[in-house]
């Protein structure tokens, strides 16, 4: 092995060992470090080790030294704090779109960010969420293809399916290939969606990414639209309920004070709230009218009331009347 290449490898391994196996509470002595290098067939002595560590430190790889009779070294800085790593691992565990197999792989990768000493301890502390995991292994590949299409300014093509009672895929529109202009991927209600529009209407559509199959980048360029210039995907998400699109409308509400947190969580902290009484407040929000929105309004019982416009009040009355008729006829 050429000297220069061997020197680069030695520096890399010194950094790798210290980064993975040390922290402030567990420094490694020069004797231990030399032994670890010897175990992987890298020759080094105490004199050159000091020079190597100094070279790494001067190159921006911060290595702390505890000066004793035998010096000890450790790497303190991590890209993520322990709490941040724990949050990332919990998020993967809780995500239903990540399969069981992929969950285990990602948890192991994230744990290694804390170094090998703490990785196992962190994994033992992972919360076991009661999450129904997806069986679709293709979702990560699909997201990668969508990202590639967005980078290249190309449309994407795919098949879209539902499941029947036998859990078999039934492709919509008799196996028709969808061809759309992608805008972004959106994570909502524990699912990933593709936000897109077609050439004909230009209206926003959402498709669950785990229901897309045979996805590929089209040779056709994206056709510009006002939707492709959305200034805020977050603003668009706040208007939606269950990722169902509909007519955009500003709706006025009156609600019990117990729903203040719920309203701010849904519509954002910049939502203007006005006191109506000691127990109620009013607010307005731009929403997209859909059955899911109407169901959301009904889910709070008498604690939330739509006060306008009249057409939305009438939609709610029809919605509730239809549900009531289902039970009257039983």
Cα 278 to the center of its chain, rounded Å: 39
Tell me whether residue 136 is in a domain: no
Give pLDDT, residue 280: 92
Give pLDDT, residue 125: 59
Rg of the chain over all Cα atoms, to the nearest angstrom: 28
Same domain, 319 and 242: yes
Tell me whether residue 131 is in a domain: no
Same domain, 113 and 39: no
Tell me whether residue 293 is in a domain: yes
When divided into structural domains, the chain yields a total of: 4
Tell me whether residue 132 is in a domain: no
Give pLDDT, residue 3: 41
Same domain, 249 and 316: yes
Tell me whether residue 138 is in a domain: no
Cross-strand partners of 47: none
The domain that holds 43 is classified in CATH as 1.10.10.10
Same domain, 178 and 242: no
Q: What is the mean pLDDT of each run of 10 residues along the chain (330 residues)?
A: 58 83 81 85 82 83 80 75 77 79 83 66 60 75 91 94 83 91 82 84 81 94 69 54 69 93 84 90 88 90 93 93 81
Tell me whether residue 129 is in a domain: no
Tell me whether residue 231 is in a domain: no
The domain that holds 178 is classified in CATH as 2.30.30
Where in the sequence is the domain holding 108, given as residue range(s)? 82-124
- pTM value is 0.55
Give pLDDT, residue 2: 44
Same domain, 155 and 213: yes
Residue 58 CB neighbours (<10 A): 8
Same domain, 253 and 294: yes
For residue 206, CA distances in Å to 134, 196, 197, 318 come to: 19, 6, 9, 26
Tell me whether residue 134 is in a domain: no
Same domain, 37 and 109: no
Residues 6+ apart with CB under 8 A from 107: 89, 92, 93, 123, 126
Same domain, 279 and 312: yes
For residue 129, CA distances in Å to 89, 92, 120, 210 come to: 11, 10, 19, 21
Give pLDDT, residue 30: 84
The domain that holds 322 is classified in CATH as 3.30.70
Same domain, 86 and 57: no
Same domain, 199 and 267: no
The residue out of 200, 226, 252 marking a domain boundary is 226
- Tracing tokens 């127990």 back to the chain, one arrives at 279
Give pLDDT, residue 122: 65
Give pLDDT, residue 213: 92
| Cα–Cα distance for residue pair 300/253, rounded to 1 Å | 12
Same domain, 89 and 70: no
Q: Using DSSP, state whether 260 is helix, strand or coil.
A: helix
Q: Which of 217, 194, 197 is nearest to 207 (CA)?
A: 194
Same domain, 157 and 212: yes
């Amino acid at each position: 092995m050429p000297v220069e290449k061997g020197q680069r490898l030695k520096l890399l391994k010194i950094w790798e060992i210290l980064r993975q196996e040390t922290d402030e509470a567990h420094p490694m002595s020069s004797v231990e470090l030399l032994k670890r290098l010897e175990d992987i067939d890298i020759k080094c002595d105490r004199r050159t080790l000091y020079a190597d560590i100094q070279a790494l430190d001067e190159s921006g790889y911060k290595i702390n030294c505890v000066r004793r009779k035998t010096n000890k070294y450790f790497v303190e800085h991590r890209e993520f704090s322990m709490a941040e790593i724990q949050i990332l691992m919990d998020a993967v565990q809780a995500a239903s779109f990540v399969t069981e197999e992929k969950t285990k792989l990602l948890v192991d990768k994230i744990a290694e960010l804390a170094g090998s000493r703490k990785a196992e301890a962190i994994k033992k502390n992972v919360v076991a969420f009661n999450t129904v995991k997806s069986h679709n292994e293709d979702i990560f590949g699909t997201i990668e293809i969508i990202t590639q299409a967005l980078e290249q300014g190309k449309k994407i093509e795919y098949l879209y399916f539902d499941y029947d009672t036998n859990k078999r895929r039934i492709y919509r529109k008799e196996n028709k290939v969808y061809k759309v202009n992608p805008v972004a991927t959106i994570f909502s209600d524990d699912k990933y969606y593709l936000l897109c529009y077609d050439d004909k209407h230009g209206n926003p559509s959402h498709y669950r990414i785990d229901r897309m199959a045979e996805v590929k980048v089209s040779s056709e360029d994206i056709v510009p639209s006002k939707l492709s210039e959305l200034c805020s995907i977050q603003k668009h998400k706040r208007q939606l309920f269950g990722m169902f699109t509909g007519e955009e409308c500003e709706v006025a509400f009156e609600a019990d004070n117990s729903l203040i947190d719920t309203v701010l969580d849904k519509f954002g902290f910049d939502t203007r709230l006005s006191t109506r009484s000691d127990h109620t407040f009013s607010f307005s929000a731009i929403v997209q009218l859909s059955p899911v929105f109407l169901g959301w309004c009904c889910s709070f019982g008498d604690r939330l009331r739509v006060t306008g416009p009249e057409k939305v009040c009438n939609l709610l009355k029809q919605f509730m009347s239809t549900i009531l008729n289902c039970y009257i006829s039983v």
